[in-house]
Amino acid sequence: MKKTRTTLADGRELLYFATDGETVPAPPDPRELPPVSTASQLRWDPLLGEWVMMASHRQNRTFMPARNDCPLCPSSDGRHTEIPASDYTVAIFENRFPSLSTGAHLDDVDVRHPLVDVRPGVGRCEVVCFTSDHNARFADLSPAQARLVVDAWADRTTELSELDGVEQVFCFESRGREIGVTLPHPHGQIYAYPFVTPRTRRMLDVAREHRARTGRDLHEDILAAERDAGLRVIAETEHWVAFVPAAARWPVEVHLYPLRKVRRIPDLDESERDDFAALYLDVLRRFDRLYDSPLPYISAWHQAPTGDDEDLSRLHLQLFSVRRSADKLKYLAGSESGMDAFITDVLPEDVARRLREV
């Protein structure tokens, strides 16, 4: 993999990723841009014991621009975007409207609440452009292109994990206006958090309890049970397995696990990365054949926090959609939004069967 590092007009970092044989031009950014906001802050929720990120400057971020105004397409014909190059394979840059920033600082913030700690929102948010083709989907990528994205995720996980204060790196993709996507160009994001996220903390707590009770690894036991049952397995390769979890929360939900226990994306070897790219493309294409239109989805990598010294984490990807039928969406209603108690409208075994059939 070839990585080329440059900066945008406002000082944000931009990286181009390409295969070793490709030429990667990195022209300068000719735009005049205002400084990036450094006003992000964290506030401690004393009721739930969780950090909440506050970034009021994001109210002005770009929202569903016209095709000709897409900021993630290559620059061309005198129109300058976030990508100064006229073409690229994979490009990653610091978000112009970040929820977290390495330069975040507080200016005399006083919430007048003794239980609410306030800190600068120090961290980093990056945008990952999977392809220069505005009309493509991740599922349209070739295995080689998808593998390059995996290598880019690994590179960023390693580098961002070394930043001062970063405790967790989260790589993800959101697709579809139905789930809040504001730019239709195929892209994902990476968050480098200065804390361990609530979902990960909960998973670590449950894994710790399982080990104390059984002496076994929770993820290993889940994986073994799903493979033994076979009812919900979508596909299995030499190094990976994809299955619908038995207690799936979302109408369409698939988890992808490597068969070898690894903690983070950089830990995957060459064969595992190739194998994942092929299986992931297969699952995404099955998603899009369920109905007449592509499924909106979130694709979320779960990897070990930087300080997981107990070896409780296991790398896996959770892929899920809010579409519960061809013309209906799953909304987080009273039970889900008010109590975080999910109600599922379809059985996981039925979803797994349909995904296998398509």
- Per the annotation, binding residues are 70, 73, 134, 185
Beta pairing, strands 124-129 & 168-175: unpaired
Locate all alpha helices (DSSP H) within 130-269, ordered by sequence: 143-161, 198-214, 218-229
Residues that constitute the known binding site for Zn(2+): 70, 73, 134, 185
- Write the DSSP symbol of residue 294: P
57 is an active site residue = no
Contact assessment for residue 250 and residue 319, using Cβ atoms and an 8 Å cutoff: no
Residue 309 to residues 164, 204, 214, 268, Cα–Cα distance (Å): 18, 11, 19, 19
Locate all alpha helices (DSSP H) within 173-306, ordered by sequence: 198-214, 218-229, 270-289
**Cβ neighbours for 200, distance < 8 A, ≥ 6 positions apart:** 168, 302, 305, 313
Residue 207 to residues 68, 276, 278, 310, 312, Cα–Cα distance (Å): 48, 25, 29, 10, 6
Catalytic residue among 105, 187, 210, 219: 187
CA atoms of 195 and 184, how far apart (whole Å): 29
Nearest to 57 by CA among 94, 100, 93: 100
Which positions are catalytic? 187
